Structure 1
Amino acid sequence: MALHPDRLLPIDPRARDIARRLYHSVAGLPLISPHGHTDPAWYATDAAFPDPATLLVKPDHYIFRLLYSQGVSLDGLGIPRRDGGPVETDSRTIWRLFAANFHLFRATPTRIWFEQSLEDLFGIEERLSTGNADRLYDAISEKLATPAFRPRALYERFNLEVISTTDSPLSDLAYHQALRDSGWKGRVLPAYRPDFVVDPDREGFTKNIVKFTALAGTAMNWQGYLEAHRTRRAYFKALGATSTDHGHPTARTANLAMNEAKSLFKTVISGEASPKERELFRAQMLTEMARMSLEDGLVMQLHPGSFRNHNPNLFRTRGPDMGADIPMATEYVQALKPLLDTMGNDPRLTLILFTLDETSFSRELAPLAGHYPCLRLGPPWWFFDSPEGMRRFRETVTETAGFANTVGFNDDTRAYLSIPARHDMARRIDCGFLAGLVAEHRLDEDEAHELAQDLAYNLAKRAYKL
């Protein structure tokens, strides 16, 4: 069951021939991974990955959320409980449970990523099943124990040019410092994700602010709080960071007067803020972060529109990031106006917008990015990091925003082994889209080759200042 060389390419023979030529011109380009969630400790310690289930199943919410939807026990998958209660600890048993339910992933991108990882990395061309689960587990385990499957060796095998992690402002970035001190040539960069000290709805918010200002050595007031951000951003930048990332419920921004901002800060750290005041604080902080990006040059990413931890029982028993985050309708035109009124015409600012609301692409995001010099559109994210999601994105934004106002692809993953497969999927889909334009005589093939290079490599490298 080897993967078909023409997978994901157009069905029409003429377009497919063009897409093949385009794809082969970009398939071997280095990978730029400017936004993701891999653990910097992997690269710093370069320790062997423990086993197939711990590497491929347990950390991947794409996998366990779908299994959970079909009644598969999270205990059986070894997903930890907050109370420390018993869960399955035998990795082979977890792998068998995954194999018994692998049919649930038919026609999902998860299956494409998983099977390409097995074939390209482990030489496995069989579909996972109950019958071969133990044999494949043993084959993968044997290779994971070899030096060729250590994190740094895989980085080089993947042809990664640079990868960015996502890091709390409270992090000491010790692993990033250790990487720098090690002399290894791989580029693993931090990204500043300040949600823990920006979002009053986060658990322990006020305690986080106390730690944050103490870490930066600044006062526990509005001016000291902003200075703490500047101090921490400078520390991240010194260790290679080129971007910040903001996971807000909405895209709302604000531009309050100084006295209003001071008063609001006091209210939110008191723990007495209303939902309206908490949202206003987040909105103000997006504008403050944009101002700081004008100062220090860090690229700003906004990931709004997720109803986080929608399942309260799961959040209570398992914690966050358990696959229960659900997309919401998200408004951008009015929400971003205070920030854009202030800085939208300044090309020194780069604000990359993502969405989980596909209806906003042609209605709001493409027209905004097609006008304001500071705006760029991030690729399809999360639920839409899929073949059809990528096609819909290109079809709905290109006519209004063009290609240059997008930023190529980023894999946004915790699943390390899936990174090459995710980039490969994006390159195939983009080449298919470009081939259709050539076949319709809307684009010359030499232009399509230039655009294929941009979408696979150049745009991400340029947008993220890498």
Structure 2
Amino acid sequence: MAQTTPLTLHPDRLFPSDPLVRDIARRLYQQIKDLPIVSPHGHTDPRWFADDANFDNATTLLLLPDHYVFRMLYSQGIKLEELGIRRKDGVAVETDYRKIFRIFAKHYYLFRGTPSRIWLDSVFHDVFGLKVALSEETADHYYDSINAQLVKPEFKPRALLDRFNIELIATTEGALNDLRHHAKLKGTGYEHKVITTFRPDDVVDADRADFSANVAKLGQLTGEDTQSWPGYLAALRKRRAFFREHGATATDHGHPSAITADLPASEAAALFQRCLAGTATPAETELFRGQMLTEMAGMSLEDGMTMQIHPGAHRNHNQVIFERFGPDKGADIPSPTEFVSNLKPLLQKYGNEASLNIILFTLDETTYARELAPLAGHYPALKLGPAWWFHDSPEGMLRFRHQVTETAGFYNTVGFNDDTRAFFSIPARHDVARRIDCRFLAGLVAVHRLTEAEAAELAYQLTYGLVKQAYQLK
């Protein structure tokens, strides 16, 4: 192996440079760094845990599922075909996984200063025990070393859940999913560690080409007449109950905007029929999604499921990539999102219900102090989700804490969500959040806005307590 650079993780990484504040952050971090990981929202594949088979190789594990990685490479002119991303039309793409890993290693410098670099270096160092930095020269060493470890029993998915100290991980499935992998976990002892989340976008988004077909299938699955408004709502209640039987404590709604509506039943029924018939205008399909957010809030009040709203992503912005490769290929872009007016219909109906848990996420950071913190700082039903997706970064987390804390406080937030498909990076992502929270709290202690004892209590809550409360996890 050619000349290499050592791979080291500094023990004070992400802590403040000021010695006094850094010492406080260190002390806080020592108290919470080994707490169990609670991952209440993410996109890992439940098949991994159900089948408990070893992962294939370094490329299919670390690169192909991670749009953070290949979107950066694509931005620098590397074709997705060269990275082994499958095309919808069946045109051949690169299948030599070693060659793909070499491309990644050659361009690893592109990730300098990004959260992906932090997560990946942590995985390489802490999970695989690699001691030299990734580069073009060390690509084969990395590939062979990682692959040699992946075949061992201790690298099976369930063993890694235990090794990573993951107390609970929630996957996310569409309303029509049969949850066979979660069913397979029953009786293994892992059915309480790996639970599902109900995401009904496939049967509430009338802009989808398969909306009507999905609603028909919803009727077949539930025995309800989903061609009628009452039958459609009854079917959704049945699916929610089915998901709860497989551990779900939460729903998730990935709408383009935060629009909600509270239409009279007759108007909602007529709108539903236009959506089914495919005659609804874009404004009407948006209104229907808004009506369904309010309907789902009402159902959450009935069955106790926490409701997550993830608006503001312009999905599949790159039409060429979408047509060639399909969704989730790194071309989703944050969009401006308005909450105060858009959420008002839902909040007028359910916002004062203290027993309802609605968690708001945003990709529009301009709304933190102006809209989200004041809303969550008033309505009992609302909590704020953590910095998400593009802002799941050291700076993004700090911006979130600085902008929402003074108005919403800490206890109207819900800890940290890793929201990832990249299973091996989950410990690193949670460690970043813990370090940043300790950094923020240490700053408050240093200027005498908190005692260190209060900061220690808050560090525990931000790491472990608030997430279990918000997602009703026992």
| TM-score normalised per structure 1 | 0.99
* Aligned match of 1:51: 57
* Aligned match of 1:294: 301
Structure-2 separation of matches of 1:125 and 1:366: 43
* Aligned match of 2:221: 215
> In the alignment, is residue 282 of structure 1 matched against residue 272 of structure 2?
no
Secondary structure, aligned partner of 1:404 = coil
Determine which of 430, 436, 446 is the counterpart of 1:423: 430
Letter in 1 for 2:431: D
Determine which of 66, 84, 87 is the counterpart of 1:78: 84
> In the alignment, is residue 229 of structure 1 matched against residue 236 of structure 2?
yes
1:206–1:372 distance in 2 versus 1, CA, 3 Å: same
* Aligned match of 1:331: 338
Moved more, 307-316 or 201-210: 201-210
1:236–1:186 distance in 2 versus 1, CA, 3 Å: closer
Give the CA deviation at 1:187. Answer: 1.1
> In the alignment, is residue 143 of structure 1 matched against residue 171 of structure 2?
no
Contact 2:185–2:191 under 8 Å retained in 1:
no
Contact 1:200–1:268 under 8 Å retained in 2:
yes
Structure-2 separation of matches of 1:187 and 1:135: 34
Secondary structure, aligned partner of 2:173 = coil
> In the alignment, is residue 433 of structure 1 matched against residue 424 of structure 2?
no
Give the CA deviation at 1:238. Answer: 1.1
* Aligned match of 1:99: 105
Give the CA deviation at 1:181. Answer: 3.3
Letter in 1 for 2:338: E
Give the CA deviation at 1:185. Answer: 6.4
> In the alignment, is residue 459 of structure 1 matched against residue 435 of structure 2?
no
> In the alignment, is residue 359 of structure 1 matched against residue 366 of structure 2?
yes
Determine which of 410, 424, 440 is the counterpart of 1:403: 410
Give the CA deviation at 1:182. Answer: 3.0
Give the CA deviation at 1:23. Answer: 0.5
Give the total of aligned pairs: 466
1:95-119 C-alpha deviation (Å, 9 max, x unpaired): 0010011010000000100000111
> In the alignment, is residue 197 of structure 1 matched against residue 197 of structure 2?
no
Determine which of 157, 177, 181 is the counterpart of 1:171: 177
Letter in 2 for 1:463: A
Determine which of 244, 252, 267 is the counterpart of 1:245: 252
Contact 2:255–2:289 under 8 Å retained in 1:
yes
Structure-1 separation of matches of 2:382 and 2:471: 13
Letter in 2 for 1:3: L
Structure-1 separation of matches of 2:20 and 2:145: 40
Letter in 2 for 1:218: E
* Aligned match of 1:182: 188
Structure-1 separation of matches of 2:142 and 2:9: 17
1:137-194 C-alpha deviation (Å, 9 max, x unpaired): 1000000000010000000000000110000110110110110133446510110000
Give the CA deviation at 1:127. Answer: 1.5
Determine which of 5, 15, 18 is the counterpart of 2:21: 15
Structure-2 separation of matches of 1:203 and 1:145: 41
1:301-322 C-alpha deviation (Å, 9 max, x unpaired): 0000011010111110010011
Letter in 1 for 2:56: P
Give the CA deviation at 1:214. Answer: 1.1
Contact 1:155–1:186 under 8 Å retained in 2:
no
Letter in 2 for 1:162: L
Give the CA deviation at 1:358. Answer: 0.1
Determine which of 420, 433, 455 is the counterpart of 1:413: 420
Supply the RMSD in Å over aligned alpha carbons: 0.7
Letter in 2 for 1:343: Y
Determine which of 241, 260, 267 is the counterpart of 1:260: 267
1:45–1:210 distance in 2 versus 1, CA, 3 Å: same
> In the alignment, is residue 24 of structure 1 matched against residue 22 of structure 2?
no
Structure-2 separation of matches of 1:181 and 1:80: 36
Letter in 2 for 1:135: H
Letter in 1 for 2:323: R
> In the alignment, is residue 108 of structure 1 matched against residue 124 of structure 2?
no
* Aligned match of 2:161: 155
Contact 2:191–2:247 under 8 Å retained in 1:
no
Give the CA deviation at 1:205. Answer: 1.1
Contact 2:98–2:140 under 8 Å retained in 1:
yes
Letter in 2 for 1:91: Y
Contact 1:48–1:150 under 8 Å retained in 2:
yes
Structure-1 separation of matches of 2:300 and 2:90: 41
Structure-2 separation of matches of 1:203 and 1:440: 55
Letter in 2 for 1:150: K
Structure-2 separation of matches of 1:39 and 1:400: 37
Contact 1:9–1:19 under 8 Å retained in 2:
yes
1:399-422 C-alpha deviation (Å, 9 max, x unpaired): 000000000001000000000000
Secondary structure, aligned partner of 1:76 = helix
Structure-2 separation of matches of 1:367 and 1:417: 36
1:271-302 C-alpha deviation (Å, 9 max, x unpaired): 11100100000000000000000100000000
Identity rate of aligned residues, in percent?
60
Secondary structure, aligned partner of 1:181 = coil
> In the alignment, is residue 317 of structure 1 matched against residue 327 of structure 2?
no
1:18-50 C-alpha deviation (Å, 9 max, x unpaired): 000000100000000000000111000000000
Structure-2 separation of matches of 1:292 and 1:99: 48
Letter in 2 for 1:450: E
Where in structure 2 are there 5+ consecutive unaligned residues?
A: 1-6
Secondary structure, aligned partner of 1:290 = helix
Where in structure 1 are there 5+ consecutive unaligned residues?
A: none
Letter in 1 for 2:114: T
Structure-1 separation of matches of 2:265 and 2:176: 26
Secondary structure, aligned partner of 2:257 = coil
> In the alignment, is residue 390 of structure 1 matched against residue 397 of structure 2?
yes
